[in-house]
Amino acid sequence: MKSTYFTPVAVFAILSLASCRAPPPPAAGAAVKGAAVATDQTTVIGRRLITEEQYLNTVAHMFGPDIEVIAQFAPMQRTDGLLSVGAAQAGVPSGQMVKFQRAARQVAAQVVSSGNVALRIPSRQDALIPCKPADATKADDACARMFLGDTARLLYRRPAPEGRVNQLVAEAAKAATLSHNFYTGLAMALEGMLLSPDVLFITDRTEPDPERTGQQRLDSYSYASRLSLLLWNAFPDDRVLKAAESGELSTAKGRKRVVEMMLASPRLEEGMRAFFDDMLAFDSFASLSKDPAAYPGETGLTLTAAREQTLRTIYYLLVTKNLDYRDLFTSRTMLMSPVLGTVYGVPTAPGWQPYTFRQDSPRVGLLTQISFLAVNAHPARSSATRRGKALRELLLCQHVPLPPPNIDFSALEDPKSPAKTARDRLTVHRTNPVCAGCHRITDPIGLALENFDGAGQYRATEKGVAIDTSGTLDGQNFGDAAGLGQALHDHPSLPSCLVRRAYGYAVGAPLKEDETQLVDHFTNQFAAGGYRLRDLLQTIVLSPAFYQVAPTPPENAKPATSKEANAQTQSRAE
């Protein structure tokens, strides 16, 4: 199914790039044919289904982090390397609706809970409902309106239609009357709100762009939602919505102020954790386990901590320390916890603390963290092929073809074979012409990590034979995992891949072939700023590509000539 999502198409900008004197403006997106007309002035150009984490984060922000929800929403389909892009196509079958309803019920019941004095459980209704009903056994429209109106604004991420708020107040009153409980009435109305399609689908609406006659841009509320989902992985809060309401987000100056505020917020950590978790395909951790016979020390607790370590390390190095993105693969510093300390064999302090490995340690960079090593391995052994494939696809955005259907790897296990190490065994892959095409691009990389077993623990030998970790990455030779990290650090596709993923994640749509110029533009900006993550985020969200929408070409329109395209791009640049 073709996506109805806003996908920035760079046709005009691309044509102009070749001849532009100044750095070109980022490309603007094209509205999708068949898009809905929401009003005479606005157009719906896409819907993203809320993810489980966005739901939970939003609930925690609005009602407190102690609200407990068992959600278990259906996973998204990984699209263009990201689950979040799959959200742009995801539907809601009835099984998923049941889960939404259950989650809504859990949230609503806790929001209006009266607590328990004996158990010292505080009353949430006192903290979260901004008023007291005249009589808690009856409906109170004024108080209900106060709570439901405020809540609807945050959940709908825009002023809720007055008719809808009236309807919610009426439903709360009806429920309060039936149950003889004002708070039950509120809970029921909140449950209903949490099932609204305009809450669970994050809708991109456009409006006429006053700066580009006849063209469209995201309206301020949609822009606010996009910003918030990227930077906080949650709905916008009151401050961001106020900026949308006041028109501040419609100005360049206003957008800059709000973006800086959001980048300075501690919620940025939630946003970046979600992004990198998605980019690194860490959803596999949900069902990852290791063979206890092979790796008795690698428990579920260890694996959970390993995932956490990488996400915390990324945030620490790239945001807290504001390091060059590429240093993630050469830094000897990782966040460490007592659970992991025993696995890494290093002393630790309580909680999560930075730990820097010695210069002679084999632990260098993200590739040598247990998370990457364990998730890209088999349950009972390492996998040079999986690790190499993951590096290529996740970090360099390269495509490793699927194996040919008719393959025979049984030579790998030939009992007469003298092979001792993975390198020996994988020689079969690299010398068999059917296999070599793919394995030559994965195995030499993965073999550099063979000093780490399937659980990510260090080993110098395999079956008594010293492990050879030398190899090459697209022309750059290395001798060990540290060298591979350096080769990756220097690889030109490393930053551009991050840019590609970050932009796709930001707009919730796969990049198209003709959008490489857009990625190049962002990558150049990224490089100019020293590959700082905050700068990249700022560049993307303040670029016209993030909020402008290119006109939809008429069905039978002739392609624009270069001259026409240049003229249009130039006018938008101005």
| Helix, strand, coil percentages, rounded to 5, for the chain | 55, 10, 40
Among 196, 265, 398, 432, binds other proteins (CB under 8 A): 196
**Segment contacting other proteins (CB under 8 A): 224-232, 260-268, 372-380, 513-521?**
372-380
Nearer to other proteins, 271 or 388 (CB): 388
Q: N- to C-terminal Cα distance for the chain?
A: 36
Instruction: Tell me: does residue 34 bind other proteins (CB under 8 A).
Output: yes
The candidate with the shortest Cα–Cα distance to 151, out of 205, 96, 199, 90, is: 199
C-beta of 403 vs 437, nearer to other proteins? 403
- Under the criterion CB under 8 A, does residue 168 sit at the interface with other proteins? yes
Considering only the stretches 132-140, 181-189, 260-268, 352-360, report the one whose residues sit in contact with other proteins under the rule CB under 8 A: 181-189
Note whether 418 binds other proteins by CB under 8 A: no
> Residue 114, interface with other proteins (CB under 8 A)?
no
**191 sits near other proteins (criterion: CB under 8 A):** yes
Separation of alpha carbons 447 and 470, rounded Å: 8
Q: How far is CA 190 from CA 146, 345, 410, 457, 532, in A?
A: 13, 50, 59, 49, 41
Q: Which is nearer to other proteins, 20 or 411 (CB)?
A: 411
Closest Cα to residue 274, out of 476, 464, 536, 56? 56
CA distance 113 to 319: 38
* Min CB(462)–other proteins separation in Å: 12
Q: Applying CB under 8 A, does 36 fall inside the site for other proteins?
A: yes
User: 470 exposed, middle or buried (CB, 10 Å; 0-12, 13-18, 19+)?
Assistant: middle
Count of residues engaged in binding other proteins, rule: CB under 8 A: 73
Residue among 42 and 516 whose Cβ is closer to other proteins: 42
Q: Does 410 bind other proteins (CB under 8 A)?
A: yes
Q: Does 400 sit near other proteins (CB under 8 A)?
A: no
Question: What x-and-dash track marks residues 199-238 binding other proteins by CB under 8 A?
Answer: --x-------------------------------------
Binding mask 450-489 for other proteins (x = CB under 8 A): ----------------------------------------
Q: Is 198 in the site for other proteins (CB under 8 A)?
A: yes
Residues whose CB is less than 8 angstroms from the CB of residue 68 and which lie 6 or more positions away in sequence, other chains included: 106, 110
Q: Tell whether residue 296 is a contact of other proteins (CB under 8 A).
A: no
Residue 37 engages other proteins in binding (rule: CB under 8 A)? yes
184 lines the binding site for other proteins (CB under 8 A):
yes
Residue 525 phi/psi, 5-degree rounding, is -65, -40
Mark 44-63 with x for binding to other proteins (rule: CB under 8 A) and - for no binding: x--x----------------
CB atoms within 10 A of CB 348: 16
Contact (Cβ atoms closer than 8 angstroms) between residue 556 and residue 2 = no
* Candidate residues 145, 153, 332, 381; the one interacting with other proteins per rule CB under 8 A: 381
Select 191 or 308, whichever has its Cβ closest to other proteins: 191
Closer to other proteins at the Cβ: 192 or 483?
Answer: 192
- Measured CA to CA, the distance from residue 27 to residue 44 in angstroms comes to 20
Work out how close the CB of 455 gets to other proteins at its nearest, in angstroms, rounded to a whole number.
12
Contact status: 339 vs other proteins (CB under 8 A): no
In the list 378, 399, 459, 563, the residue contacting other proteins (rule: CB under 8 A) is 378
**Gyration radius (Cα) of the chain, Å:** 26
Interface region with other proteins, contact rule CB under 8 A, candidates 16-24, 119-127, 196-204, 365-373: 196-204
**In angstroms, what is the minimal distance from the CB of 502 to other proteins?**
21
Cα gap 488→395, rounded to integer Å: 9
Q: With respect to other proteins, which residue has the nearer C-beta, 213 or 406?
A: 406
d(CA 152, CA 131): 16
Q: Does 287 bind other proteins (CB under 8 A)?
A: yes
Q: Which is nearer to other proteins, 64 or 409 (CB)?
A: 409
Considering only 210, 214, 347, 405, the residue that binds other proteins (CB under 8 A) is 405
The candidate with the shortest Cα–Cα distance to 62, out of 197, 234, 240, 271, is 234
432 binds other proteins (CB under 8 A): no
Contact 325, 531 (CB under 8 A): yes
User: Identity (one letter) of the amino acid at 491?
Assistant: H
Cβ-based nearer residue to other proteins, 174 or 532: 174
Residues 6+ apart with CB under 8 A from 235: 54, 58, 61, 62, 154, 155, 157, 225, 228, 229
74 touching other proteins, by CB under 8 A: yes
Closest distance between other proteins and the C-beta of residue 278, in Å? 14
322 φψ region: left (φ > 0), alpha (ψ -120 to 50), beta (else):
left
Residues 79-98 that bind other proteins (CB under 8 A): 79, 89-98
Amino acid in position 135: D
Q: Is 293 in the site for other proteins (CB under 8 A)?
A: yes
Select the span of 67-75, 119-127, 136-144, 248-256 touching other proteins (CB under 8 A): 67-75
Strands 43-49 and 471-473, sheet pairing = unpaired
Question: How many other C-beta atoms are found inside a 10 Å radius of the C-beta of residue 252?
Answer: 10
Rounded-to-integer distance, Cα 115 and Cα 66, Å: 13
